Amino acid sequence: MMNIKEYYMNKYPQDELGIELNENATFVGLLNCLYEGNDVYEYIGEGDSLIRERLFEKLAIDTNKPYNYIWDLWLS
């Protein structure tokens, strides 16, 4: 299974901030982070909102949930 950094670097190779992503972060871990109310930016290793949004979009697809479901988890 591809981790977040591998996914992001493959999908968005032009985004230089991708190199800053946590090499140990996974999408399962990101979902757990959201469920537990932990800091998403700390988990992924980068504080850029565009990166977060792109990862949330991928997480929504992977979990077969609407983007708003992931967004609402983050806000709560």
Tens digit of pLDDT per residue, the chain (76 long)?
Answer: 689 999 999 999 999 999 999 999 999 999 999 999 999 999 999 999 999 999 999 999 999 999 999 999 999 8
- Work out how many domains the chain is built from and give that number: 1
Predicted structure pTM score: 0.95
Angle between helices 4-11 and 49-63 (to 10 degrees): 110
Nearest one of 39, 36, 40, 37 to 59, comparing CA atoms? 40
Which two three-digit tokens encode residue 74? 């983050």
Whole domain around residue 41: which residue ranges? 4-75
